[in-house]
Amino acid sequence: AQSVTQLDSQVPVFEEAPVELRCNYSSSVSVYLFWYVQYPNQGLQLLLKYLSGSTLVESINGFEAEFNKSQTSFHLRKPSVHISDTAEYFCAVLYNFNKFYFGSGTKLNVKP
Amino acid sequence: ETGVTQSPTHLIKTRGQQVTLRCSSQSGHNTVSWYQQALGQGPQFIFQYYREEENGRGNFPPRFSGLQFPNYSSELNVNALELDDSALYLCASSFGTGPLVPYEQYFGPGTRLTVT
């Protein structure tokens, strides 16, 4: 069975500190990887995606993620977080071109 | 360009009843997927419709069914509601160009269903 593992359910961090949210997936076939962000009482918003090409992908608000095929990982990083980054982050994998599998989410809590 | 919309926002039903949730896809999108997000968990894939045909299904019983209409709006129907069906139901639309082409999804705000 396919699975997506987010190793940390909660990550507390101080403002302007760096952060890494971890994501591992189980698959030996080609996969397509995504990070979504969910603010309180809102739906999911696409943060960034890896479909092909460069293994390092970036979002418009300073987040980046690197696809590592050998480690089956797609960790999300930001060198300096802001209070407004407080949200829940979900890693997702597209399998078989018709099913998205999501991790259980990581709550990022940025403290002043 | 309008985004994905869902109705109603909140809904309370009694165990054993039936419910219909609705979704309007983003303009130009021909694919819709439905997800169940229980409290404290990630979204779980229910099924996907592509050009009005079911195109994939997750591990949900047959009492979860769906429809996609020619205008690409969609419905999720759940029969014989159980307490565990209480969750946020998310609709996501996308534009699929073919069966073996990756794509990204755009989510609606969800419908919060409470079963008592």
CA distance A15 to chain B (A): 24
**A43/B90 touch (CB, cutoff 8 Å), yes or no:** yes
**Would you put residue B99 in left (φ > 0), alpha (ψ -120 to 50) or beta?**
alpha
Q: What pLDDT is recorded for position A87?
A: 96
Residue pair B34/B46 in contact by the 8 Å Cβ criterion: yes
Residue B105: its chain A contacts at CB < 8 A? 46, 100
Q: What is the mean pLDDT of residues B11-16?
A: 97
Q: What pLDDT is recorded for position B100?
A: 64
* Pairwise CA distance, residues A24 & A91, whole Å: 9
* Pairwise CA distance, residues A108 & B81, whole Å: 33
Q: What pLDDT is recorded for position B105?
A: 86
User: Average pLDDT of chain A?
Assistant: 90
* Pairwise CA distance, residues A87 & A79, whole Å: 17
Q: What is the mean pLDDT of residues A27-53?
A: 85
Q: What is the mean pLDDT of residues A51-69?
A: 88
Q: What pLDDT is recorded for position B1?
A: 52
| Residue A30 scores a pLDDT above 80 | no
| Residue B114 scores a pLDDT above 90 | yes
* Pairwise CA distance, residues A99 & B103, whole Å: 11
* Pairwise CA distance, residues A100 & A80, whole Å: 29
Q: What pLDDT is recorded for position B84?
A: 96
Q: What pLDDT is recorded for position B43?
A: 93
**A98/B42 touch (CB, cutoff 8 Å), yes or no:** no
Name the 3-class secondary structure at A88. Answer: strand
Q: What is the mean pLDDT of residues B95-113?
A: 82
User: pLDDT class for B86, splitting at 50, 70, 90?
Assistant: very high
CA distance B110 to chain A (A): 6
**A90/B43 touch (CB, cutoff 8 Å), yes or no:** yes
Residue A107 neighbours by CB under 8 Å, 6+ apart: A9, A10, A11, A87, A88, A89
CA distance A46 to chain B (A): 7
Q: What pLDDT is recorded for position B113?
A: 97
Cα separations (Å) of B41 from A105, B35, B37, B38, B61?
Answer: 7, 12, 6, 5, 19
**A44/B45 touch (CB, cutoff 8 Å), yes or no:** no
Classify burial at B28, counting beta carbons within 10 Å of its beta carbon; exposed 0-12, middle 13-18, buried 19 or more: exposed
Model confidence pLDDT, tens digit, residues A71-112: 999 999 999 999 999 999 999 998 877 788 999 999 999 999
Q: At residue B112, what is the residue type?
A: R
Residue A103: its chain B contacts at CB < 8 A? 42
Give the nearest partner residue to A43 out of B100, B104, B108, using CB atoms: B108
A99 bridge partner residues: A95
* Pairwise CA distance, residues B115 & A58, whole Å: 40
Model confidence pLDDT, tens digit, residues B23-60: 999 888 888 999 999 988 899 999 999 888 898 899 99
* Pairwise CA distance, residues B3 & B79, whole Å: 28
Q: What pLDDT is recorded for position A28?
A: 59
Angle at A67 between CA A78 and CA A95, to 5 degrees: 120
- Length of chain A equals 112
